[in-house]
Chain A
C-alpha cells in the first residue's frame, strides 16, 4: 500500500476563500502530480513537479498554484475559491526511474 496522504478528505467552503490542499508522501519519490477529476471525465493534470524547487503547469488551465520546498510535500493553493473549482483533486507521486504513479485518496472540494 502506497504511503501518500491528502488532507482534508472533504472540504466545503464559501466563494472567495483561500484554501490549501495538502499532499504528502513518505516514499521519497521525486515526481509529484496534481489531477482534477470530475464524474465521467478523464483525469486532468493541473500541476507537476520533478523535484524540490521544480513546478510545472499541466495541460488543464488552473487558477491554482503549487510549491515544492520539500521532497515529501506538494501543497496546492487556491487564492480565491469559486464554484467552478468544485471537483475532486487527486495527488500522485512517482519514483524518478519508474513509471508507476501512486495516488492519494483525494480531496473532494465543494465551493458554495
Chain B
C-alpha cells in the first residue's frame, strides 16, 4: 500500500505571501496525484490532479503543484495567499485509480 507524508501539520503565512505545502509519497510506480482542500464542516474539494503529461499542474483558486518523480513529491504552491485560503489541505495518491491514500493534512492559516 502507498503511504503519503505531509511533513507540515500547520503552516501559518501572512496574507499576500507565497506558500508551499509539501507532499511526498512512497511508491515509485506510476501514480495519480491529487490535492484536496477542506473548509470547516465541509467535505473535501478537488484543487488539482496529476494523471500524466506536464509535471506542472494548475488548479483552482490560483494553486499549482509540481510532480517530481525522482523525489516522489507533489508539492502545492500559491504565489499570493488570501484569507479565504485558510483551510485544511490533503494530498492523495492512487496507483490504479480505485483506492486512494491520503496524507494527514496540512492546516493552512492565513494571517491578516
Chain A contacts with B in 45-76, Cβ cutoff 8 A: 45, 48, 50, 58-59
* Minimal Cβ-Cβ distance residue in B for A90: B43
Docked pose: A34 CA to B78 CA in angstroms:
30
Contact A106 B43 (CB under 8 A): yes
Q: For the complex, what is the distance from the CA of A100 to the CA of B49, rounded to whole Å?
A: 8
A99 in contact with B104 given A31-B98, A45-B99, A48-B98 (CB within 8 Å): no
Query: Number of A residues whose C-beta is below 8 Å from B?
Result: 25
> For chains A and B in complex, what number of residue pairs have CB atoms within 8 angstroms?
58
**Segment with Cβ contacts to B, from A12-20, A36-44, A78-86:** A36-44
A101 to B42 alpha-carbon distance, docked (Å): 15
* Complex contact B99–A99 (CB within 8 A): no
Contact B104 A103 (CB under 8 A): no
Contacts of A35 in B (CB 8 A): 102
Contacts of B100 in A (CB 8 A): 33, 43, 45, 101
How far apart sit A36 and B34, CA to CA, in the bound complex (Å)? 19
Q: Give the contacting residue for B45; candidates A45, A103, A106; CB below 8 A.
A: A103
Contact for A105 among B4, B43, B102, CB less than 8 A: B43
- Most A Cβ at <10 Å: residue of B32, B44, B45: B44
Q: How far is the CB of B46 from chain A (nearest CB, A)?
A: 6
- Nearest chain-B residue to A106 (Cβ)? B43
- Chain A residues with Cβ under 8 A from B46's Cβ? 100-102
The reply to whether the CB of B28 lies closer than 8 angstroms to some CB of chain A is no
Contact B98 A42 (CB under 8 A): no
- Residues of A bordering B, CB below 8 Å: 4, 6, 31, 33, 35, 40-43, 45, 48, 50, 58-59, 90, 92, 98-106
Kindly list 6 other residue pairs between chains A and B, CB separation below 8 angstroms, not including A98-B97, A101-B100, A106-B42: A31-B98, A40-B105, A42-B104, A90-B44, A101-B46, A105-B42
